[in-house]
Amino acid sequence: MIAVQLVLLKVALDNRPPVGFKDGIEHTPFSGQAAGSPSVFVRPYNFWQWRAARPYWTFLTYFSTSLTVIQIFLPPLSNSQSYSSMLGFVGLSIEAFLPVPQILANQRAQSCKGFRLSVLAAWLLGDAMKMGYFFFGGDSVPLAFRVCGILQCCCDCYLGVQYWMFGEGKDTAKFATASNALNGADGWAMKDMDARMT
């Protein structure tokens, strides 16, 4: 599984789109913010949004080496229940927060264009099965699984709400024309009202 994830990361890095907007969709995966572009949230050290491929492999090397050293050379720490629980909770939390970048991108664009309904349906179905197991599978399921499962389920449900609210987004040209026409009509109505008052 780790090997497949590394291959997928390599493919994603090799085929990342350029920074900017295309068809009304912001493209910034694996690339950081464009110079001078506004950002709602800037990650510390642009974590996981570096422009070059090398920082990804450097981070993964340091991360893997650190965990290996702890596991092999610090048995009192690596064998403790609290350390194992902490690692598990961190891993589950990362998985639970996976939908958040998609939520932020949809919110910024006021559109779910490019986000497939089939993906959302698969996520919600997966959440329903996981939650069923977590809450009806007996007392053997740790609390961390239930807490992170609820968080991920809430995120996926909010994606569903965004899909319902935004859909494929507004046709900006038609929206601008309609908005200008409405503002013009309101302007004429206000002038007419002012003339009647005087």
Q: What is the pLDDT of residues 63-75, one digit of tens each?
A: 999 999 988 888 8
Closest CA to 70 of 60, 80, 55: 80
pLDDT at 41: 60
User: Who has greater pLDDT, 181 or 161?
Assistant: 161
Kindly state the average pLDDT of the residues 148-174.
Answer: 82
What's the CATH code, domain 90-167? 1.20.1280
Question: What's the confidence (pLDDT) of residue 26?
Answer: 59
Q: Write down the pTM of the prediction.
A: 0.63
Query: Is residue 143 pLDDT above 60, yes or no?
Result: yes
Phi first, then psi, for residue 26 (nearest 5°) are -80, 130
Q: Looking at the chain, which residues constitute the CATH 1.20.1280 domain(s)?
A: 90-167
Asked whether residue 179 carries a pLDDT value surpassing 80, the answer given is no
Distances (CA, A) of 128 to 94, 98, 124, 132: 19, 17, 6, 6
By the 8 A CB rule, do 126 and 118 touch? no
DSSP-derived letter for residue 44 is: G
Backbone angles phi, psi at 30, to 5 degrees: 60, 25
Interior angle at CA 26, CA 51 and CA 55, nearest 5: 15
